[in-house]
Amino acid sequence: MNTKNEHKTNSFRNALLPVIRGFLSRLFTILSYSVFSPRSHRPNQTVNQPKTESGNSGSSKWYLPNRAFVRRLGYEITMRILALPIVILLFVAAIVYMGTRPTAAEISLYPDSLGLLYKNISFTSEDGTSLLGWFIPSLKADDILAEGDKALTRKRPGVVLCHDFGANRDQLLALASSLNREGIEVLLFDFRGSGLSEGKPRSFGLYEQEDVTAAVHYLAEQPTVDSGKISVIGQGLGGIAAIGAASRDHGIRSLVVGDVDRNFEAAVSRKLRQSGALGEACSSAFVWGCKTYLRANDTQMSTVHKATLLSENQSLLLVYHKNNDKLTQSAQIIKKNTDARTETLVVESLKPCLLTEYDTVIPRIIEFLQKSWE
């Protein structure tokens, strides 16, 4: 029976492939054919040009197009118009495919280079995607010498760090080092399709929020972590996913997010705003294509909507660039529409990742987290 079914499948495939190849070949011919090529018609009427004062007619003859050329011209123009929607769909499919599958950045910095002890970990997201990361405990040899066995049983706060789109877990390693010195257990991981984690495509927070939830659950299960004092910190895409995870799990005490847009359209528009009208057209096509491909609606891709689901017992710190009107607007809208205790931090910095700003941001993050755990 299996052999018979396989034979039918192969026969169908063999019959379909020539049709597809023929269609693509014809489409290419239509789009590449030069309508005004000298070979596109055969003139059948000539008209003599009047002679000039010198008695020379210059170019003595010129041609009028015949009916065959006119029919050919109308046919080719009509076929191009009919082919235009197909070309647009192919273009949208191409940019969506490339946009949801960017090249994974290689990990170039490891915790031991900053003097941190760590453990390689792996856990599974809600949909079964395998994710990899680092767990950095805050327990030090000096603590054991000073406190003895109490140091091994004392519960500590925990933080999950979430990187931005196109980056990996090492993006926030500097922040992890500062948190570790404050006695905080830290978990860094690669989102699906990033770093060393499995899974595609990237979904701009839609599926990544499930990754954050899985990371929070893994951290809460560690024997040295106080499950009642867990926070999430995210930059860009990581911040969007963090808000999405906290909107479903109110056990997450506090959130720190950097450069978060109010929705998917605003994020794409901000990235392409310097490209003019072409950028706006590509932005609209990309947003529509991604939502169609991911089978997502506006609500599912809205950071503001996720923020409305946060609890009044949760705390939120919005960090954003001072000179970016789009981000400022998004932060104000999010703050207005959430019940969480919300604070803002406006930073004048050229760093693409604000959460690693040593002088102003990191001290404020630590202060905010400690206050939220009280």
Whether residue 256 contacts residue 184, with contact meaning beta carbons closer than 8 Å, is answered with no
Structure-block tokens of residue 61 = 């003859």
pLDDT of amino acid 93? 86
17: three-class secondary structure by DSSP: helix
Per this entry, what is the length of the chain?
374
Please give the angle made by the CA atoms of 44, 47 and 53, to the nearest 5 degrees.
160
pLDDT of amino acid 315? 97
What average pLDDT values come out for the chain (374 residues) when binned by 10 residues? 50 62 65 49 49 52 64 75 79 84 86 94 94 91 66 86 94 96 96 91 91 97 94 96 97 96 89 56 84 92 96 96 89 96 92 88 96 94
The single-letter DSSP state of residue 191 is: P
pLDDT of amino acid 28? 65
59: three-class secondary structure by DSSP: coil
Strand-pair partners of 234: 162, 257
CA 14, CA 25: separation in Å to the nearest integer?
17
- pTM to 2 decimal places: 0.78
Mind listing the domains of the chain with CATH numbers?
60-100+265-295 (no CATH), 111-263+302-372 (3.40.50.1820)
Whether residue 162 contacts residue 216, with contact meaning beta carbons closer than 8 Å, is answered with no
CA 280, CA 228: separation in Å to the nearest integer?
45
Phi then psi for 41, rounded to 5 degrees? -155, 165
Task: Kindly list the distances between the CA atom of residue 354 and the CA atoms of 246, 260, 318, in Å, as whole numbers in the listed order.
Answer: 21, 11, 11
pLDDT of amino acid 16? 63
Structure-block tokens of residue 66 = 């015949």
356: three-class secondary structure by DSSP: helix
What's the N-to-C CA distance of the chain in angstroms? 67
pLDDT of amino acid 20? 63
CA 46, CA 65: separation in Å to the nearest integer?
10
pLDDT of amino acid 151? 67
